[in-house]
């Protein structure tokens, strides 16, 4: 590990949580250089929904590279881009009766969010954007302004502006419909809210602690936006591509957002790739007005098209994700049932245990790593243990991972109980 500590910037993060050197990976398993095997409950923060090195996607990629297919082509028309666009239209948009233009941005999620915010402001001529408490939309300046967590915001170095934060669903407890405030503020010229160009929202907050918006809340948000002429941007970078049990996470709510951002698992292979979907009337860019050297990644076009072909021809994959999501949910509920301080939430194959405090969650994930399970925390205090297994994980692997997680929870809870006992013992 020495060169990482000596030479790599202090900004490095995940290598601290998972202190080993990884070498190979297949499906839902990774291996390190000592030959240890790890089960993956993290999936590259949702970038590996189809697992590591999925064999069919790998073959498509190898064939393309062997044939000297175009690797870099700026945003020129290529056969691989055409294939992806045809498949995306045929297998994703048409069956859902969705009508969007496709904008290929720079290859990371935050690139897509920047483009979405820019076009929303350009089209409406307004600057303000409404974002939500605990939301995460990336760390480049425009996106960072819509990201709530001060840990990231403090890294900006300048004031981030043009954004008003509103309480996300559940922020004020289960009894309060937080949209009452947004609706009232939009209606009231003295609320202090500059009429926004757009609202940007995650249907389930991935980095912010697996906060799940009720479908009725999302529907009401859609209605409020429409009524006030505000564009609705759904950031589906982490929750899209099947994670919640449908290709888009907003499908269950029947929403038709004005703008959608996709990245993370879009390439299906862990390759960098991002896209913005725009209602056709919003596509008011002038040619080249927003650009980037790596717009569309031809290798990612190949694997993304192959994934659509292999996984999204019919409902089977989605039904399987929903079924495994249910198993995951029930097992977490039974793990948490023994401890009143733990609670479970999520949707589809993103489920989490809220530990209420970061130290306990860290104990659990540390123990899990020692037992061969890669699992991360999220939330404002990293207090939420989040399960984000690859969607292709077998039921057996899922149960194996959950066995490790269950053991890690009881080990961490026992340790905490011992600490409490010691404290009280010392007092008496």
Ligand X SMILES: *Cc1c(COP(=O)(O)O)cnc(C)c1O
Considering the complex, what minimum distance in angstroms separates the CB of residue 182 from ligand X?
A: 20
Residues in the chain: 428
* Cα 206 from Cα 239, distance rounded (Å): 7
**Which of 29/207 has CB closer to ligand X?**
207
Query: Smallest distance, Å, CB 249 to ligand X?
Result: 10
Q: Does 376 bind ligand X (CB under 6 A)?
A: no
When the beta carbons of 137 and 386 are compared against ligand X, the nearer one is 137
Which of residues 142 and 206 has its CB atom nearest to ligand X in the complex? Answer: 206
For residue 313, the minimal CB distance to ligand X (Å) is: 27
Q: How far is the CB of 139 from ligand X (least distance, A)?
A: 7
Query: For residue 219, how many other CB atoms are within 10 A of its CB?
Result: 15
* 246 vs 331, beta carbon nearer ligand X: 246
300 lines the binding site for ligand X (CB under 6 A): no
Of 103-111, 182-190, 248-256, 329-337, the segment contacting ligand X by CB under 6 A is 103-111
* CB nearer to ligand X: pick between 17 and 327: 17
Q: Nearest distance from residue 67's CB to ligand X, in Å? A: 29
Q: Does residue 386 touch ligand X according to CB under 6 A?
A: no
CA dihedral 354, 358, 364, 370 (to 10 degrees): 140
Which is closer to ligand X, CB of 29 or CB of 236? 236
Region from 98-106, 109-117, 339-347, 399-407 binding ligand X, contact rule CB under 6 A: 109-117
Which of 28, 60, 113, 231 is close enough to bind ligand X by CB under 6 A? 113
Structure tokens at 415: 């340790």
Please choose, out of 2-10, 106-114, 347-355, 418-426, the segment that lies near ligand X by the rule CB under 6 A.
106-114
User: Does residue 109 belong to the site contacting ligand X (CB under 6 A)?
Assistant: yes
Dihedral angle sign, alpha carbons of residues 275, 116, 155, 212: negative
Least distance (Å) between residue 243 CB and ligand X? 10
In sequence order, the β-bridge partners of residue 199 are 130, 232
Closer by beta carbon to ligand X, 374 or else 402? 374
Q: Does 220 bind ligand X (CB under 6 A)?
A: no
Backbone angles phi, psi at 385, to 5 degrees: -85, 115
110 binds ligand X (CB under 6 A): yes
Which one of residues 138, 170, 196, 257 is an interface residue with ligand X (CB under 6 A)?
Answer: 138
- Cβ of residue 109: shortest distance to ligand X, in angstroms? 2
171-210 residues near ligand X, rule: CB under 6 A: 202, 206-207
Note the Cα 205 to chain centre separation in Å.
7
Determine the residue with CB nearest ligand X: 109
Q: Which of residues 221-280 bind ligand X (CB under 6 A)?
A: 235, 237-238, 263-264
Q: Could you count the other beta carbons within 10 Å of the beta carbon of residue 390?
A: 27
Contact 38, 47 (CB under 8 A): no
**Nearest to ligand X of 137, 279 (CB atom):** 137
Q: Which stretch binds ligand X (CB under 6 A): 107-115, 293-301, 335-343, 365-373?
A: 107-115
Q: Contact, 320 vs 349, CB < 8 A?
A: no
Q: Does 137 bind ligand X (CB under 6 A)?
A: yes
Please say which residue, 124 or 265, places its beta carbon nearer to ligand X: 265
One of 18, 64, 84, 136 touching ligand X (CB under 6 A)? 136
Residue count at the site for ligand X (CB under 6 A)?
15
The dihedral of CA 179, 185, 191, 196: what is its sign? positive
In the complex, the smallest distance separating the C-beta of residue 175 from ligand X, rounded to whole angstroms, is: 27
Q: Which residues bind ligand X (CB under 6 A)?
A: 108-110, 113, 136-138, 202, 206-207, 235, 237-238, 263-264
């Amino acid at each position: 590990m020495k060169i990482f500590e000596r030479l790599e910037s202090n900004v490095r993060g995940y290598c601290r949580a998972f202190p080993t050197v990884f070498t190979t990976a297949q499906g839902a398993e990774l291996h390190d250089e000592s030959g240890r095997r790890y089960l993956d409950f993290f999936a590259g923060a949702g970038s590996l929904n189809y697992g590591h090195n999925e064999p069919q996607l790998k073959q498509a990629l190898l064939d393309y590279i062997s044939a000297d297919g175009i690797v870099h082509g700026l945003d020129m028309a290529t056969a691989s881009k055409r294939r992806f666009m045809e498949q995306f239209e045929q297998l994703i948009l048409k069956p859902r009766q969705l009508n969007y233009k496709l904008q290929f941005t720079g290859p990371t999620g935050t690139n897509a969010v920047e483009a979405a915010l820019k076009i929303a402001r350009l089209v409406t001529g307004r600057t303000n954007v409404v974002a939500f408490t605990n939301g995460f939309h990336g760390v480049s300046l425009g996106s960072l302004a819509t990201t709530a967590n001060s840990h990231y915001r403090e890294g900006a170095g300048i004031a981030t502006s043009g954004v008003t934060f509103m309480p996300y669903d559940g922020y004020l407890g289960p009894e309060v419909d937080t949209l009452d405030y947004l609706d009232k503020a939009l209606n009231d010229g003295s609320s202090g809210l500059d009429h926004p160009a757009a609202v940007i929202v995650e249907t389930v907050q991935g980095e912010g602690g697996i906060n799940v918006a009720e479908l009725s809340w999302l529907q009401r948000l859609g209605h409020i936006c429409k009524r006030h002429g505000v564009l609705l941007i759904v950031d589906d970078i982490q929750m899209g591509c099947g994670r919640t049990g449908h290709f888009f996470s907003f499908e269950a709510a029947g929403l038709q957002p004005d703008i959608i951002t996709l990245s993370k698992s879009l390439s299906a292979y862990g390759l960098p790739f991002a896209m913005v979907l725009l209602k056709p009337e919003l596509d008011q860019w002038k040619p080249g007005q927003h650009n980037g050297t790596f717009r569309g990644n031809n290798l990612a076009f190949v694997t993304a098209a192959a994934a659509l072909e292999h996984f999204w021809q019919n409902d089977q994959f989605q039904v399987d994700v929903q079924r495994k999501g249910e198993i995951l949910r029930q097992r977490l509920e039974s793990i948490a049932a023994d401890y009143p301080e733990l609670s479970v939430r999520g949707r589809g194959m993103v489920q989490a245990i809220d530990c209420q405090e970061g130290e306990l969650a860290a104990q659990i994930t540390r123990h899990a790593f020692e037992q061969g399970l890669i699992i991360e925390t999220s939330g404002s205090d990293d207090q939420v243990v989040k399960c984000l297994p690859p969607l292709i994980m077998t039921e057996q692997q899922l149960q194996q991972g959950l066995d490790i997680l269950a053991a890690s929870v009881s080990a961490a809870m026992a340790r905490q109980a011992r600490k409490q006992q010691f404290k009280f013992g010392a007092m008496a």
